[in-house]
Structure 1
Amino acid sequence: MFFYVSKVFWLVVAPSTLLTVLAVAGLALSLRWHQLGMTLATIGAVGLLLIGLGPFGRMLLVPLEGRFPPYVESGRQVDGIIVLGGSELPGISAARGQPSFQESAERILAMGELARLYPNARIVVAGGSGRLSDSPMQEADVVRMALPQIGLAEERVMFESASRNTAENARLAMALVKPAPGENWLLVTSAYHMPRAVGCFRAVGFPVTAYPVDFRTTGVPGYFRLFSSVAEGLSFFELALREWVGLAVYYFTGRIDSPLPGPEAR
């Protein structure tokens, strides 16, 4: 139930959708209630412009991406590598017969690099489908198609293809690999998503070492730097807002133990 509610909720409250509907509804209402309609239309249009061109998306993303620093080799043995799904495009991959990925394909590139650096480490790809409707293939299946392109043998990789969200990624990966106490597992996902991902793994008793990739900002908000298009700014803003909302919901529903998980003190 949680999965379906979360998907429907975001379909309704996504700012680009909400503000566009508000603007269009305002214009329609203005035909009968001019002042009310034009007020709503103005709020919708101005909201789209402010969010789309202003720095708000970067402002929300920077603290998420800065929560876990880039991975630095410490000399500690790496026993395993977990790569979270989410970068794949299953529909296009199935239709075109070749693996297709979104911006966060750095996750897959990092998997290939880490596999070469740590030839004895176990590798897990965790990801089923986050779609409400049936998917033509699972996220893990797209990664399987891409393995020859990154020079990684399929028998080297374990696939967890039943999870639909980050909490399920953690729980099902834990059940699949059954990590021994003291093992060092690297967790590969987008930097902005790392706090929630690490929190989910900690909550199921699976300590991991963060390996953030797919950075979207330089680390500074750029308060006076506008986005080049409304579409670009809206994309940044919705990506960040969705992650912050996800953190809040996961915390209040007990799926993570901290509102903003960070590195543990050593």
Structure 2
Amino acid sequence: MFFTLSKLVWFVFSPVNLAVLLAALAGLLSFTRFARKARWLGGAALLALVLMAFSPLSRIVVRPLEDRFPQQDATKGPVAGIIVLGGPIGIARGDVVLLSAGARITKAVELARLHPQAKLVFTGGAANLISPVTTTEADGARLLFTGLGLPPERLLLEDKSRNTLENAVFTRRLVDPKPGERWLLVTSAWHMPRSMGVFRKAGFAVEAFPVDYLSEGEPADFLRPHLRAAGGLTIADDGFKEWVGLLAYWLAGYTDALFPGP
């Protein structure tokens, strides 16, 4: 129920979607007796879209998320396993497709080669509500990891999870971590605080290894505009979604802290 409700609510209340829907509503109302109010509504929606598309607002939103867990030294000790959260991969026309968070995959392969004794765990099923499930992200991960030369016996694939909560719970069941083992958690930096909170709540002690940064970690993040609207809108959508997700997971009891930290 939580999964379905979260998908439906976010479809409407994602800032980008909401601004577009309000602009469309304003366009319809402009032909009615509410035309004057419609102009104000359309102007507000357009202003919100412009700010998210071109201003530094989107980086300002994601910057605290990405600063929360710094990337660590991957060579500092032996690693039992590397866990990669779903989101960056798919299958189209029988071939692997890397999505916007593809750095999760490339960094996982780099870490797997750095620690050849470590298991490589990918957790990700099919998170769609409408189309029937024929392939999962884990299917794509298997194709990609083996295609890049990683031995199949090193891979552990969890293909039932649909969100971050299920990533943590199902992965812990799958790998059954032992006390003292070191497990690295690889996901996008803006997604790391919520991920760490959920894994801690699930009783799985992992070390954060954030990747896929959307901000540069420099003062210019707060000043530099976006040159492409699509880029700014995507970052804004990811950032606002993550802040809402942190609040929702905390209120639902899936994390012990509103903003988990190191």
Class of the TM-score when normalised by the shorter of the 2 chains? over 0.9
- Deviation per residue, 1:232-251 (Å, 9 max, x gap): 21111111000111111001
CA separation in 1, counterparts of 2:133 and 2:59?
31
- Deviation per residue, 1:3-47 (Å, 9 max, x gap): 000000011112222112212221221222221121111111122
The structural deviation recorded for 1:74 is: 5.7
Q: Which residue in 1 is equivalent to 2:44? A: 43
Q: Which residue in 2 is equivalent to 1:30? A: 30
Q: CA distance change for structure 1 residues 14 and 210 in 2, over 3 Å: closer, same or farther?
A: same
Q: Which residue in 1 is equivalent to 2:108? A: 111
Aligned positions of 1:132-171 closer than 5 A: 132-133=129-130, 134-171=132-169
**Which of 194, 198, 203 is the aligned partner of 2:201?**
203
Q: Give the letter aligned to residue 125 of structure 2.
A: G
Q: Which residue in 2 is equivalent to 1:5? A: 5
Aligned positions of 1:55-134 closer than 5 A: 55-73=56-74, 75-89=76-90, 93=91, 95-133=92-130, 134=132
When normalised by structure 2's length, the TM-score is 0.94
Q: Which residue in 2 is equivalent to 1:172? A: 170
Aligned residues of 1:29 and 1:37 also touching (Cα < 8 A)? yes
- Deviation per residue, 1:167-194 (Å, 9 max, x gap): 1000011111111111111111111111
- Deviation per residue, 1:126-174 (Å, 9 max, x gap): 1111111323310000011112332211121011111110110000111
Q: Give the letter aligned to residue 153 of structure 2.
A: E
- Deviation per residue, 1:32-80 (Å, 9 max, x gap): 2221121111111122112211111100111111111112146322111
Q: CA distance change for structure 1 residues 111 and 22 in 2, over 3 Å: closer, same or farther?
A: same
Q: Which residue in 2 is equivalent to 1:225? A: 224
Question: Percent of aligned pairs with the same residue?
Answer: 41
CA separation in 1, counterparts of 2:37 and 2:158?
52
Q: How many corresponding residue pairs?
A: 259
Q: Secondary structure at the match of 2:89?
A: coil
Aligned residues of 2:215 and 2:221 also touching (Cα < 8 A)? no
Q: Secondary structure at the match of 1:215?
A: coil
CA separation in 1, counterparts of 2:2 and 2:221?
36
User: How large is the Cα RMSD of the aligned pairs?
Assistant: 1.4
Higher mean C-alpha displacement, 63-72 vs 110-119: 110-119
CA separation in 2, counterparts of 1:116 and 1:104?
20
CA separation in 1, counterparts of 2:100 and 2:233?
16
Q: Give the letter aligned to residue 126 of structure 1.
A: T
- Deviation per residue, 1:211-240 (Å, 9 max, x gap): 111111101363332111322211111110
Aligned residues of 1:84 and 1:169 also touching (Cα < 8 A)? yes
Aligned residues of 2:186 and 2:211 also touching (Cα < 8 A)? yes
Aligned residues of 1:191 and 1:215 also touching (Cα < 8 A)? yes
